Every structure is written in structure tokens, then in C-alpha cells.
Amino acid sequence: MEKPVVVIGSGAGGLPSATAIVEQGYDVVLIERGAAVSHSSSKINQYNFEVSPLPWPTHEHEWSGENQLQRVIALGGSTLRYQAVAHLPSQATVQKWGLDTKTFYKTAYEVKSFLAISGHNTPHHPLNRFSQHLFNTAQKLGWEVSPTQAAILSKPHSSRPACNHCGMCVFGCLPNDKTTTANSWLPRANKTGRLKILTDSKAIKLNLGNKSTCESVDIERQNRKERIPAQAIVLSAGALETPYLLKKSQQTLAPNGIGNKNIGRHLIETNIQSQILLGNNDIENAHAGIPIDLVVKQFEKEGVLLYQGRNLAGIVGPVSLAKYYALHEGPENIRRWMQSHYKRVGVIAAMMEVGGSRYDQIDFNKKSFSFNKTEREKQNEAFVSSLLKRWQKASGFKSLWQESFRYSQNSGAMLRGSCRMGKDPNKSAVNLSGKLHDYNNIFVSDASILNPGLIAHPSLTLQILGFSIGQSVAKLLKGQKPT
Ligand SMILES: Cc1cc2nc3c(=O)[nH]c(=O)nc-3n(C[C@H](O)[C@H](O)[C@H](O)COP(=O)(O)OP(=O)(O)OC[C@H]3O[C@@H](n4cnc5c(N)ncnc54)[C@H](O)[C@@H]3O)c2cc1C
């Protein structure tokens, strides 16, 4: 019998790859470290949802860094927790990455249609009054502003309902209108009958048959070790776990682990600088909507995306907002303050890339990661602050709590770039088809492969690249040249 293709990880990169491979007639074994968690496990219908444990574990206790790592361990990966903003790289960025723009945007169109991205083939989500005001302000400033496109249904689709605009997406989506890889790609791949899923199974080592070919993967499952034979491997365990797995696959044929010197280098993150605003008295329901309502692309060329949304400073409900109040104004009258302010508070934010140009920000032995701000990044921060200030001043909305208060931190959610894609093996870890340089059948399709230039919100790009990489794997197995 033919050996299966093994895909490791079921997040934004993994499940689209698995789908492309099974649809081309090959069997896939999907190894997922976490469990299959139903959308009905979300606790957002309970009064204490904000302080309840999340429905899935995250990596935060395993990897240490300056910011908390929010990545999810479950079938569907971090798409279970994400806010579903659907962003695409600019044409100039795709070109810089060395990819064929025509092919990239053609696949992007197909993937966006399949996912029913709002604002693509379905309507945008309506803006609440707070967002509408910030939208009008941005237009008056002459900025290119639009409602965000999101992988959140604005119309019913494939037996799932339209969004109820509760805005609590990061706690899981109880009605199931947020699109995750588990409720989109997974059912599509299952239809072929060629996908076998091993949940609660952790990949721990790739085994080489010769210097450039992987022949099996070792996994841990129910406290037992198993060996899964493979005719090809797609690694999609995330930007920290994928290089970790390659580095830790030390063996006689690869004494320092698998892959070239660029495995684990060039880690990139998204820094978020936010300002919390209080709308005027006529504003209501600023909390209702999707978590991030607006995007301003005016400054994309300068490496900055501006957003407006409630979640952007970590405000995901009344408890998180009350924490800010307690921190800045003391605990008196907190109930009265919340009653008069809760529905008038919103956030504007700027996202920019950090990292990517330096080496060795991941310590694989200590399982830690770090970023040191460059002079250019510090200057960019100042530029970003001035943009936020301009938007706030022009809106006429008050800045909470002081003029100078801004929340700035790395996302802990959008790590990428640690097995960079490119033509030149001296500068990259995988080629433009996602295959490890110098290896025959080992591919990477998660956030590790991204180069600088995206700024933020990698999940849609990953689904496009993941699907294309899956097609390349199938081509290779058919003896054709991968694209
Ligand atoms: C709170 C939050 C908000 C976000 N908001 C947005 C947004 O609005 N828009 C956007 O585009 N992106 C957003 N993101 C980022 C986005 O979710 C990630 O960039 C994307 O999911 C990364 O995809 P991935 O395939 O690299 O990793 P993941 O989606 O994290 O998938 C990795 C998978 O591999 C599994 N795994 C790990 N190690 C192993 C192992 N050894 N063996 C087997 N399985 C393993 C994990 O359990 C997981 O399922 C957000 C993320 C978070 C956490």
C-alpha cells in the first residue's frame, strides 16, 4: 500500500494543505497535538465567560517571551481564537516574496470565495455608531479607509448562521459564524474519504531514510510512542513549533537537526499600539459588532496599518474594561462608571512589524523568544503615535485616560518568518513551493514561511499559501514539477 502524506498541525496553514492533497487523490494522516473542540464549548453565553478558562489550551506556559503567547492547541489551531480579520499582502509585497502575483491573487480569490469572507462575495458587516464616526473622520482626513473584511459570516453560509455581532470572537464562537479551519476546510477534506485525523497526538521527530528524504514521523499519543510512515511531510505546527521539531529531529543523518542554517532565524512579530477613546454622549453600542471594524491602508507603504475596533487594546468585555478603569482611576464608583461608559468606549490602533532582520531570536533549548527594537522600529513607533493622535483629535472623541496613555505591545498571536520562503538557500529555509531546500519530500506551510511585508493578520495569506503548497506536494508525488 502507498504510504500516506503526513500533515502536522491543523491551523491556518495545515488544514488547507491537507485539503489540497486529499483532493488530488492522496491519503493524508493529519497529526494534531490538541483535541477536537466543538464550537458549543464556548462559554460566551455565561455571565462569567471573561474569567472562565478558554475552551482550548494555549502555548503560553510552554514558551517564554516578553509577551504572552496566545497560540491555540486544538483541531483548528489558532483560528479558533483569532479575530478573523482577513488581510492580504500588497502586490508589491507578493512580488518581493518572489511569488507569481497572478497565481497568488487567483488562488486568493478562490479561497476568499470558499470562506465567504465578508466584503468579498458577501456584504461587509454594518458599522456601529462609534465605528461610523471614526470612518467619517478618517475620510475627512483624506485617508483610504474601509470596513475590515473578515472570516465572519455576514450572511448564512453552508448551514452556519450570520454573525450576531456579540464581538467576543476570541473566546470561541458559540453560534459558529466565525470561520475556522475546523468548520471550513475540515468538512471539505473529510468529503474525500482520504483524510485520517489523529488528535491528541504530538509529533516529536522526523526520521530520514537517506540524507534528503523523510520516511516516517514519531508521535506521542496516549502516553505511547508510535511511528507513522510517510511518503511526504507537511509541517504546519506554527512558527515556533515547526522549527523546534526540525531542530530536535537530530539523528545520524542530520546531527544538528533537519534543514539548513536558516531554520529558526528571522522571527517576525506584529506590534500593536492602541489608544482607548470615549465616544460622545450620542454614541451607543460601541461594543457591538465584529472585534475589528475598520482598516486604514493609507500608510501600508510605510509599514503601518491603522485599525479601529473594540478588541484592540485587549478590551474583550466588561471585566477587561473595568481593569483599565481600576488601574487608572481607582476602584471607586466602578459600577456607575461602567454603566455610563461601557457602550461608548472603543479603540484605535496601529500595527507594524518587528523583528525579521536579526538572527537567533528563538532559543530552542530554553524554549524562549525575544525581540530587540531597532532604531528604525523606535522611529516608526513615534510616527505611529502621531498618526493615532491625529485620528483621535480629528474625531473629537476623548482619549482615555490621559492624553499620553497608549497601550503598546507585541501581539503574541502573529509570530511568523522562522523558516522563511525564498529562492536563495543562503537566505531562506524553504523554496517557493514550501519545500525545505536540499530535501526531497519535506514541506512547511504554516506562519514560519512568511517573509516581512505583511504587517499583520497572516491567516488568510497562510490559507492561500497552505492550499498552494498542498497542490505542490501532490504535483511532486505525480512526478510533475511543483509550481
Ligand atoms: C487572539 C488571536 C487573534 C488573532 N487575530 C487574527 C486576525 O484577526 N487575523 C489573522 O489573520 N490572524 C489572527 N491571528 C493569528 C492567526 O491565528 C495565526 O497567524 C495563524 O492561525 C497561524 O497559523 P499556523 O498554521 O502557523 O499556526 P496555528 O494556527 O497556531 O496552528 C498550529 C497547529 O499545530 C498544532 N501543533 C503544534 N505543535 C504540534 C506538534 N508537535 N504535533 C502536532 N501538532 C502540533 C497546534 O496544536 C495547532 O493546532 C490571531 C491569533 C490569536 C491567538
Q: Is the pLDDT of residue 321 over 90?
A: yes
Q: Is the pLDDT of residue 39 over 70?
A: yes
Nearest CA to ligand 1 atom 31: 11
Give CA–CA dist 298/302, Å, rounded: 9
Q: What pLDDT is stored for residue 404 in this prediction?
A: 56
Q: Is the pLDDT of residue 299 over 70?
A: yes
Domain range list for the chain = 5-125+150-265+416-477, 135-148+269-410
The Å distance, Cα 78 to ligand 1 centre, comes to: 3
User: What's the pLDDT tens digit per position in 272-298?
Assistant: 999 999 999 999 999 999 999 999 999
From the list 174, 179, 163, 161, the residue with the least C-alpha distance to 43 is: 174
CA angle 429, 433, 436 (to 5 degrees): 30
Taking the alpha carbons of 133, 81, 460, 120 in that order, is the dihedral positive or negative? negative
Give CA–CA dist 467/445, Å, rounded: 9
Three-class SS of residue 93?
helix
Give CA–CA dist 99/423, Å, rounded: 10
Q: What pLDDT is stored for residue 203 in this prediction?
A: 98
User: What's the pLDDT tens digit per position in 402-438?
Assistant: 655 566 788 889 999 999 999 999 999 999 999 999 9
Q: Answer yes or no: same fold for 5-125+150-265+416-477 and 135-148+269-410.
A: no
Q: Is the pLDDT of residue 370 over 90?
A: no
CATH number of 135-148+269-410: 3.30.410
N-to-C CA span, the chain: 27
Q: Peptide bond preceding 185: is omega within 30 degrees of 0, i.e. cis?
A: no
Q: Which of 56, 71, 88, 149 to mutate to test the pocket of ligand 1 (most atoms within 8 A of CB)?
A: 71
Residues in contact with ligand 1 (CB, 6 Å cut-off): 8-14, 31-34, 70-74, 77-79, 81-85, 170, 202-203, 236-239, 241, 245, 413-414, 446-447, 457-460, 462
Q: What pLDDT is stored for residue 361 in this prediction?
A: 82
Q: What pLDDT is stored for residue 367 in this prediction?
A: 93
Across 260-274, 354-368, 404-418, which has the greatest mean pLDDT? 260-274
Q: What pLDDT is stored for residue 1 in this prediction?
A: 65
- Domain at 5-125+150-265+416-477, CATH homologous superfamily: FAD/NAD(P)-binding domain (3.50.50.60)
Q: Which atom of ligand 1 is nearest to the CA of 201?
A: 43
Q: Give whole-number Cα distances, 364 to 67, 72, 128, 360, 408, in Å.
A: 17, 19, 45, 9, 27
The Å distance, Cα 416 to ligand 1 centre, comes to: 10
Burial code (b: 16+ CB inside 10 Å, e: under 16) for 44-56 equals beeeebbeeebbb
pLDDT bracket for residue 175 (50, 70, 90)? very high
Overall pTM surpassing 0.75 (yes/no): yes
Q: In 116-249, where does DSSP find H-type helix?
A: 129-140, 185-190, 241-247
